[in-house]
Structure 1
Amino acid sequence: MKKNIETILVTGATGKQGGAAARELLKYGFKVKALIRDKNSNESKDLAQLGAQLIEGDWSNFESLEIALNNIDAVYMVLPPVWEMNEEEDNKEADLGVDFINLLKNKNIKFVIYSSVIMSDRHKSFRPRFKHTIEEHLWNSGLKATVLRPATFMENFLLPASGIKEGKLYNFMPKGRKIPYITTEDIGIFARIVFQNPEKYAGQTLDLMGDEIDEIEILNALQSSLGINLELVQLSLEDLTAQNPLFGRLIEMFTYEPFPAVDIEDLRILNPKLRSFSSWLDQFGKSKFIK
């Protein structure tokens, strides 16, 4: 059966999430245009070898984005990562997302997947403009679309802030609370599934997770996989709030708000490869920690 979506622009294609989506789409025969900043980066070269068409573009130059949207059917929309959590950056992200959606509408794009974040709608009480602003604008645009709301990335444990390279495990999350996590590889698989069935998933918001675990389970899995002892360091909500009030509000939300009711087994039926934290460590994480 001929796909009604054949050519897809993947933004953020050299990042973890966009890269996973691009590789998965190429594996299943989609034509992928990869929006990248530097065609000479190792990540760009790897995508080109897999068959992606590289398109250099800059989010600060919408003319370059408009060119990237020529002759495509659909878009996997991942916005540039934001490392500083504050109201100014939230506004910039919201503006960027809204403007890009307007551009997609002007270009008559058939279908859009926007990758947001889990519980984005519940941020409204302390983040007036955020990813929920982009979601709402997308629904109001009239574009056919699906919103993915992935949980916290397992890959975040590879970042220096995790403390693992120092022999520690810094727990930013509420003590004893099971937190939903997912790998970026699995997000890419779910994106591919949606692009294969756009009529089925159009108009839907999908919460994505692969595991729900607390800090003790994370500690035990890391120590077992890596063969090292780690000191668990629990960071208090008061200290986190003092460092960044907005981040403190986020952790407060994780402490008291219920997480979405997601049946991981139902997700596993869709994606039989869906990774738990331990299986992610075995397949991907361990080798990257050892580097």
Structure 2
Amino acid sequence: MSERTSMTILVTGATGNQGGAAARRLLADGWSVRALTRDPAGRAAHALAAAGAEIVAGDLDDRASLDAAVKGAYGVFSVQQGALGIQPVGFEEEVRRGRNVADAALAGGVEHLVYASVAGAERSAGVRAFESKWEIEKHILAIGIPATILRPASFMENFSDPAFGVQTGQLATAFASNVVEHSTSGTPHWTDSMAHCSPRPECCRTGPWSSFEARRRT
């Protein structure tokens, strides 16, 4: 058994876009994945199980289910629905869920937490959809768990959604031409897999994030 397969990574939101992409990438990179979902009987959960993931039922509002899910896990990938999701979630609800995951990870002895935030979270005053993520970041740092904060700015796959509608036939973004597409550290770590995951890799040009900042705290 390799070192990777002997270490379990719990992925929250595993049947969603970001969580699902994270789970698939970790599996592809040889990690043991425990996928948390509210619907273990659903199609997405079955697909992850077929790919080798352990499926566990849980809810980010149910601390007991999170405590059970993190038991024995080496790492946790934490992502929550927010105000800009397909099914919008309120500020307080998102913050509570993010804190629940972090607290459960700390109490369960998890060695490393990865949290998917948003670029410029610390400059988000007045942008309610981003302020929630900054609150979660601050909580993670305050409790002292070893953590990596990912700050994706945008996803290329957003532009494939008809809801974003390209009206003029030209694809334009607010990002300067020199914005970094993706970045990883020079030291192999399970968090590096997160810098190469994407809900639909075929939508990407040279990397999964249009831009992201990553901060690792050990």
Q: TM-score range by the shorter chain?
A: 0.7 to 0.9
Match in the other structure for 2:175: 178
Look up the equivalent residue of 2:78 and give its one-letter code: M
Distance 1:147 1:84 in 2: 20
Query: Looking at CA atoms only, which structure, 1 or 2, has the larger radius of gyration?
Result: 1
Look up the equivalent residue of 1:178 and give its one-letter code: F
Higher mean displacement: 69-78 or 34-43: 34-43
Match in the other structure for 1:130: 132
Identity fraction in percent: 31
Cα deviation for residue 38 of structure 1 reads 1.4
Match in the other structure for 1:141: 143
Is the counterpart of residue 276 in structure 1 residue 205 in structure 2? Answer: yes
Q: Secondary structure at the match of 2:80?
A: coil
Distance 1:61 1:176 in 2: 39
Match in the other structure for 1:152: 154
Distance 1:145 1:156 in 2: 27
| TM-aligned CA distance change 1:159 to 1:179, over 3 Å | farther
Distance 2:180 2:156 in 1: 6
Within a 5 Å distance, the mapping from 1:218-257 to structure 2 comes to: none
Match in the other structure for 2:215: none
Q: Deviations over 1:166-191 (max 9, x none)?
A: xx3699xxx874369999xx89x99x
Distance 1:115 1:194 in 2: 16
List gaps (5 residues or longer) in structure 2.
209-218
Cα deviation for residue 52 of structure 1 reads 0.2
Distance 2:31 2:85 in 1: 35
Distance 1:76 1:48 in 2: 18
| TM-aligned CA distance change 1:49 to 1:81, over 3 Å | farther
Q: Deviations over 1:237-256 (max 9, x none)?
A: xxxxxxxxxxxxxxxxxxxx
RMSD across aligned positions (CA): 4.0
Within a 5 Å distance, the mapping from 1:68-79 to structure 2 comes to: 68-79=69-80
Contact 1:162–1:170 (CA under 8 A) maintained in structure 2? no
Q: Secondary structure at the match of 1:151?
A: strand
**Paired residue for 2:164, among 148, 162, 175?**
162
Cα deviation for residue 53 of structure 1 reads 0.4
User: How many equivalent pairs are there?
Assistant: 197
Cα deviation for residue 194 of structure 1 reads 4.0
Contact 1:117–1:131 (CA under 8 A) maintained in structure 2? yes
Match in the other structure for 1:195: 190
Match in the other structure for 1:14: 15
Distance 1:48 1:176 in 2: 37
Q: Secondary structure at the match of 1:101?
A: helix
Q: Provide the TM-score with structure 1 as the length reference.
A: 0.56
Distance 2:84 2:173 in 1: 26
Contact 1:118–1:207 (CA under 8 A) maintained in structure 2? no
Q: Provide the TM-score with structure 2 as the length reference.
A: 0.73
Is the counterpart of residue 37 in structure 1 residue 38 in structure 2? Answer: yes
List gaps (5 residues or longer) in structure 1.
199-205, 211-272, 281-291
| TM-aligned CA distance change 1:41 to 1:197, over 3 Å | closer
Match in the other structure for 1:49: 50
Q: Secondary structure at the match of 2:96?
A: helix
